[in-house]
Structures are given as structure tokens and as C-alpha cells.
């Protein structure tokens, strides 16, 4: 054979191979590009949904009541679909998009909702009496909706064989219920778990880990509609306290002095629908008088938490992870199965709180166990929901594996997780999820959700808010140029709106913390540039502050910026711990009424 012939045969063989190869790789590249696009769409739609939830809840006084919450979540689901449909040309309607979204998970403070498909068929008994009618479920019988609320709970078997239940939350609050078998009968108790040895109770104040906590005056700026007919508005700063998770403000008289009723109690009001709703309930009035319109929340928080923690220690002290009952059947303890929970806490007693197991510290035994329980609960529910979803799809669908970093986000803040799958993409199907955490909410007060407000010492003006770990803040206080005026949750720094009529241009806007007619701006170091120099956990524990740059694990010299006994550091820490305790105490918690009536 001639060389030319060989060459032609070679070309004949190699060209088709090369063409197929190139088309295959091209296809893969397109698939990746599509995947990128779908990922982007999923993330931004989820973000829109979270934003909708934020807007709906921060402007809604009743957002913590479950009926209202369900409504807010359903609104958020609608937002998700609207956003998805408008960004993806693949979907023409919400119904069409719903086929590709197997589940949406909303994790909240003490439990979670899952939005998914479920069969809405009542299982009836047949003619024979006991036999069940076998209903053939085709896809028409499936509906989309919010599943019942699931608490982050776990059951434990006590030494005496009794079973008790513990409900966890995203922070250190727990609810314990069950019969301990000690003659007290069925007990339900709720409270915050802390290290009780840190708290010392005195007459008018308490100390927590060296920080003195006293009643404090809180102020907020409000725009109120004084006259509903003319829509005349008034802007002023008001002192407030919390009473049963609602803010109560004290009004002023005509001369601008604090107003009192004839019986000497403060003239107080709720801020409802932008109007002042005056409170006539003598019980609330007397409460306001007794505390002299100073917030006792931080003191109450630590005092009650101490009492509760001592109780928990006594009753549940011996429980280890081996006593946890499996979620699947609720009767068998997990025993030596160290793989069952994501975090293995071994034989350490979970509720034996103390210096070595401080629930406020992120990596304590209690916290590790709590996160593992929440994760197990969510995993089990999601698996159930997603296996049901497989029934309505034509192909095999498995839940995507959620990686550890995403679990960390889910378990540490209220968040929304959306799953999307099944969109054809080259030779395969799209299957991914998006996790977006909710920064601004009234559900949970995370360690980083507190801002500290300062003003210039010299002028008493120029208010700025900082993160607790901000270098500018601590050095400003240290050299005397800044003075701390208070600490408030991040939600208090969100813009509030007053709606006067249907015309949006007539809306008024204000900021709760912009008091005394002063400016209020975010610190350029920590808020705008988001440079956190010191670890918030270090501040909670009260150990020496080391700049991140100087931390030994970051290759620094380990030189200390502020000693634990530095007075500026102590001031910042006191303001921070006080605000954290106060805000945690004041958020709405469904079971805490029980505790109040004890």
C-alpha cells in the first residue's frame, strides 16, 4: 500500500473520532455553563426569598406568632418561584417550576418547616371494615405545601428507664419535658443553659464572669402618626422596655417631659400600625413603674439561666450521647454506635455544664451534641420528603450531598435551603441546592448579631455602630476618643418605614437607633470594610485579645493587643454581654410563658 493511501485511511479513522470527542467535550462545557447559570439562578432566587422573609418579618410585630410566620414563609415561597420564573426561560409558570423543586427547607429558631409535595388523600377503610383501600396515586394527587413544623428534638432514656424529651434551639435555650420518675410527675421546663458558676447574684445587680450587669435605659427613635385624619406625624426618641416580648414606650407630656398617669405609673404605649396605642392594663403599668422604665432583661436572663442550668445539671447531668434514642423508631438508644450522629461526643455528659462545657462557647460538648441532633433531625425529614418526591418524577433522583460547610451555615442561623433538580443539561440532569442564611431576623440573636453604638467623647455627637471585635472601637474607647452609648441587635439598624397612604412617595423612613437628632453611620473599619480584628468567642470568654494578624495559627507573633483586664476591653465586653443577654431574653419563644408562671 502506498504511503498516501495509509494517510487517507488514517485520516478517515482519526477525523470521526476527533469530531465525536470535540462534540462531546463541547457538550460538557455547555453543560457546565448551564449548571453555572442554574446555580446562579437558584442562589439569587433563594436570596430573593430570604429577603422577602426579612422584609415581611422585620416590619411585622406579630411575625413571631406561628400563623403569621406561616404566611410569611408562604409569601417567601411565592417570591422564590416568581424570581425563578423570571430569571429562567425554561419555566413558563409556577406549576412547571414546581416539578423541578423537590423541597425547600426553612430552618427557624426552634424547628423547621419543609415545603414539598405530599399526597392529600384520606386513607379510608374499605367495605370489609378493616382493609384499606389501595389508592393508586398518580401525580395529580400530589399537592405542594408546607409540612407541619418539626422541632429540633431528641429523646433520652434515663437510668431508671423513663424517657424524656429535649427540644433544642439555634442558641443555648432548651426545653425539657417528661416524667423523671422522682414523684414530681410530668415536668416541662424551658430556659437558657449557661455555666451557672459564672453567675453571682447580688441585691440590685448580678455579675457574669466578672462583668457587672445592672438595669439599663434603652432608647429608640420613632415616627408616629399622631392624627389618623390629617396624618400628622411626630418624630421623637422614646425610652422603652420589653414586656412579654413586646416593646413598651414611655410617652412625653406637652412640655417634653416624661409623662406619668394620675396613679404615678408611666404613661406607656405600644407602637402599633405607626400609632401610639396607650396601655391601660394596670398590671403592665405597675410593671413599668416597678422597674422604673429600665430594662431588667439582662439580669433576668442570667438569674433565670443560672437557676435553670443548676436544675438541668441535677436532673440530666448523667446523660451521654449513648442514651439518645434513635429518630427512626424512638425506642432504641444509640448506645455504642458512634457513627449515628455527625459529632461524636463519646462518654462526656452532655448536660453537665461548667467551665469545661460552657454552652455559650461554640465548641463545647453541649453545642456539638446539639448541632448533631439538629442535623440528624433535618436529614431524616429531608430524606423522607425527597424519597416521596421520587414517586412523582420519571427518573431516579437522589438527594444531593450537603457538604459540611453548608451544614455549618444551616445549623448556625435561620436559613433557607432550596433544592432543584431534573432540568436536562447535556447528557445529564441538573441536581443541586442553595443555602442562604438570614442575617436580619427577629428569630434568633446570634453572637455576631449585636452592634455597639459609640459617640465622640469630645462632642457627644457623631454616632457610629461597630461590631464587638472592631479594633477602632476598642482602641477608640481605650484612648478616650469614643464613648459607648449602648449595644443593640442588628435588626435595630434596619430602615423602618411609615406608610401614610397608598402613595409610596409619601412614605417616611427612619432608623430606630438614630436618636438625639444625631447622625448614625456604620464604622468604616468593621461595617463597610467588614474587617473583624478580634474573635467574638474570645470576647464572650473574656480572654486576652489577639489581632487575627498576630494569631500564632496565622503565622503571627501571638502578641496581645488588649489584656483581659484592660478597662476599654472590659467596657466593650460588658456592653456586648449585656446586650446579648437582653436580646436573647426578649425574643419571642413559644414555651417561655410556662416558665413565667412557675
Partner 1 sequence: MGDSLITVVAIFLAAILMFVFPLMSLAERTDDVSQLAVQTATTELVDRVRTTGKLTLTDYDAFVSELASTGNTFDIEILIQELDENPGVKTTQAEATKIGENLYYNKYTTQVLDELDTKGRKILKEGDIITVTVKNTNQTISQMLRNFFYMISGNDSYQIVGQHSGVVSVNGSTSER
Residues in the interface with partner 1 (CB under 8 A) total 63
Q: How far is the CB of 326 from partner 1 (least distance, A)?
A: 29
Distance separating alpha carbons of residues 588 and 243, to the nearest angstrom:
11
In the shown chain, the binding pattern of residues 348 to 387 toward partner 1, with x for contact by CB under 8 A and - for none, equals -------------xxx------------------------
Is 229 a residue that touches partner 1 (CB under 8 A)? no
Q: Which part of the chain contacts partner 1 (CB under 8 A), choosing from 89-97, 175-183, 257-265, 531-539?
A: 531-539
Q: Does residue 521 belong to the site contacting partner 1 (CB under 8 A)?
A: yes
Site for partner 1 (CB under 8 A): which residue of 530, 596, 597, 598?
530
Provide the minimum distance between the beta carbon of 32 and partner 1 in the complex, in angstroms, as a whole number: 6
* Residue nearer to partner 1 on the CB measure, 31 or 392: 31
Binder among 14, 135, 391, 458 for partner 1 (CB under 8 A): 14
Q: Does 544 bind partner 1 (CB under 8 A)?
A: no
- Residue matched to cell numbers 466593650: 572
- C-alpha cell of residue 324: 439518645
CA distance 165 to 141: 35
- Per CB under 8 A, the list member of 16, 23, 40, 398 interacting with partner 1 is 40
Span 430-469, contacts to partner 1 by CB under 8 A: 434-437, 439, 447-448, 467, 469
Phi, psi torsion values for 571, nearest 5 degrees: -65, -45
Subset of residues 49 to 78 that bind partner 1, contact rule: CB under 8 A: 50
**What is d(CA 7, CA 245) in angstroms, rounded to the nearest whole number?**
85
CA distance 566 to 542: 11
Residues 6+ apart with CB under 8 A from 249: 220, 222, 238, 239, 240, 268, 269, 270, 271, 276
Q: Which residues pair with 466 in a beta bridge?
A: 452
Q: Provide the sign of the torsion angle of the four alpha carbons 35, 37, 40, 45, taken in this order.
A: negative
Characterize 6-24 residue by residue with b for buried, 16 or more Cβ atoms within 10 angstroms of its Cβ, and e for exposed: eeeeeeeeeeeeeeeeeee
Which range in 181-189, 348-356, 419-427, 523-531 contacts partner 1 by CB under 8 A? 523-531
- Interface with partner 1 (CB under 8 A), residue from 55, 85, 291, 527: 527
Which of the 8 DSSP states describes residue 528?
I
**Of the candidates 43, 75, 322, 392, which one interacts with partner 1 according to CB under 8 A?**
43
Which of the ranges 113-121, 155-163, 378-386, 513-521 carries the binding residues for partner 1, by CB under 8 A?
513-521
Q: Which is nearer to partner 1, 312 or 577 (CB)?
A: 577
Give every CB contact of residue 423 below 8 A, 6+ residues apart in sequence.
38, 90, 100, 429, 430
| Least CB distance to partner 1 at residue 504 (A) | 9
In the chain, count H helices and then E strands.
11, 23
Nearer to partner 1, 259 or 447 (CB): 447
Burial label, 277 (beta-carbon count in 10 A; 0-12, 13-18, 19+)? exposed
Binding residue (CB under 8 A) for partner 1 from 262, 396, 405, 502: 405
For the record, the C-alpha cell of 349 comes out as 455528659
| DSSP-derived pairing of the beta strands 218-227 and 232-243 | antiparallel
- Least distance to partner 1 from the beta carbon of 405, Å? 7
Which residue carries 429531608 as its cell? Answer: 382
What minimum distance in Å lies between the beta carbon of 432 and partner 1? 10
Task: List residues near partner 1 by CB under 8 A.
Answer: 2-4, 6-7, 10-11, 14, 18, 21-22, 25-26, 28-29, 32-33, 36, 39-40, 43, 47, 50, 361-363, 405, 409, 412, 434-437, 439, 447-448, 467, 469, 495, 507, 509-511, 514, 518-522, 527-532, 535-537, 548-549, 551, 553-554
Amino acid at each position: 500500500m502506498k504511503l498516501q493511501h495509509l494517510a487517507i485511511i488514517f485520516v478517515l479513522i482519526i477525523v470521526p473520532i476527533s469530531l465525536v470527542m470535540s462534540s462531546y467535550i463541547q457538550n460538557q462545557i455547555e453543560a457546565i455553563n448551564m449548571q453555572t447559570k442554574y446555580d446562579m439562578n437558584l442562589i439569587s432566587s433563594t436570596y430573593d426569598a430570604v429577603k422577602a422573609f426579612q422584609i415581611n418579618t422585620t416590619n411585622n410585630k406579630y411575625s413571631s406568632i406561628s400563623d403569621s410566620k406561616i404566611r410569611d414563609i408562604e409569601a417567601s415561597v411565592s417570591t422564590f418561584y416568581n424570581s425563578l420564573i423570571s430569571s429562567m426561560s425554561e419555566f413558563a409558570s409556577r406549576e412547571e417550576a414546581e416539578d423541578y423543586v423537590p423541597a425547600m427547607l426553612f430552618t427557624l429558631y426552634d424547628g423547621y418547616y419543609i415545603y414539598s409535595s405530599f399526597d392529600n388523600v384520606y386513607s379510608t377503610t374499605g367495605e370489609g371494615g378493616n382493609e384499606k383501600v389501595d389508592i393508586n396515586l398518580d401525580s395529580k394527587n400530589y399537592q405542594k405545601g408546607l409540612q407541619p413544623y418539626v422541632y429540633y428534638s431528641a429523646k433520652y432514656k434515663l437510668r431508671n428507664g423513663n424517657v424524656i424529651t429535649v427540644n433544642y434551639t439555634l442558641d443555648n435555650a432548651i426545653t425539657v419535658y417528661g416524667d423523671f420518675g422522682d414523684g414530681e410527675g410530668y415536668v416541662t421546663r424551658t430556659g437558657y443553659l449557661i455555666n451557672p458558676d459564672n453567675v453571682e447574684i447580688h441585691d440590685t445587680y448580678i455579675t457574669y464572669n466578672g462583668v457587672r450587669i445592672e438595669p439599663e435605659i434603652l432608647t429608640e427613635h420613632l415616627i408616629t402618626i399622631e392624627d389618623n385624619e390629617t396624618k400628622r406625624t411626630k418624630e421623637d426618641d422614646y425610652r422603652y422596655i420589653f414586656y412579654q416580648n413586646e416593646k413598651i414606650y414611655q410617652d412625653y407630656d406637652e412640655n417634653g417631659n416624661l409623662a406619668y398617669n394620675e396613679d404615678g405609673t408611666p404613661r406607656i404605649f405600644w407602637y402599633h400600625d405607626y400609632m401610639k396605642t396607650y396601655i391601660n392594663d394596670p398590671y403592665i403599668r405597675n410593671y413599668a413603674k416597678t422597674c422604673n422604665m429600665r430594662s431588667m432583661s439582662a439580669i433576668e436572663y442570667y438569674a433565670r439561666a443560672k437557676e435553670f442550668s443548676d436544675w438541668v445539671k441535677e436532673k440530666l447531668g448523667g446523660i451521654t450521647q449513648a442514651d439518645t434514642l434513635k429518630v427512626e423508631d424512638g425506642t432504641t438508644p444509640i448506645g455504642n454506635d458512634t457513627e449515628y450522629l455527625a459529632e461524636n461526643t463519646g462518654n462526656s455528659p452532655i448536660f453537665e455544664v461548667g467551665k469545661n462545657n460552657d454552652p455559650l462557647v461554640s465548641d463545647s460538648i453541649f453545642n456539638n451534641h446539639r448541632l448533631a441532633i439538629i442535623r440528624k433531625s433535618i436529614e431524616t425529614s429531608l430524606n423522607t420528603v425527597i424519597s416521596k418526591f421520587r414517586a412523582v418524577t420519571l427518573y431516579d433522583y437522589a438527594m444531593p450531598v450537603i457538604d459540611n460547610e453548608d451544614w455549618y451555615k444551616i445549623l448556625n442561623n435561620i436559613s433557607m435551603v432550596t433544592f432543584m433538580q431534573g432540568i436536562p443539561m447535556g447528557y445529564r440532569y441538573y441536581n443541586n441546592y442553595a443555602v442562604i442564611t438570614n442575617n436580619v431576623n427577629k428569630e434568633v440573636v446570634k453572637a455576631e448579631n449585636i452592634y455597639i453604638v459609640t459617640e465622640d467623647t469630645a462632642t457627644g455627637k457623631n454616632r457610629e455602630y461597630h461590631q464587638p471585635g472592631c479594633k477602632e472601637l476598642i482602641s477608640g474607647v481605650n484612648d478616650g476618643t469614643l464613648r459607648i452609648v449602648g449595644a443593640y441587635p442588628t435588626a435595630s439598624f434596619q430602615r423602618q418605614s411609615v406608610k401614610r397612604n397608598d402613595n409610596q412617595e409619601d412614605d417616611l423612613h427612619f432608623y430606630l437607633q438614630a436618636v438625639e437628632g444625631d447622625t448614625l453611620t456604620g464604622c468604616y473599619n468593621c461595617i463597610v470594610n467588614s474587617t473583624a480584628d478580634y474573635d467574638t468567642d474570645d470576647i464572650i470568654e473574656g480572654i486576652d485579645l489577639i489581632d487575627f494578624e498576630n494569631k500564632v495559627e496565622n503565622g503571627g507573633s501571638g502578641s496581645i493587643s488588649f489584656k483581659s483586664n484592660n478597662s476599654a476591653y472590659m467596657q466593650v465586653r460588658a456592653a456586648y454581654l449585656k446586650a446579648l443577654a437582653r436580646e436573647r431574653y426578649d425574643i419571642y419563644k413559644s414555651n417561655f410563658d410556662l416558665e413565667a408562671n412557675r
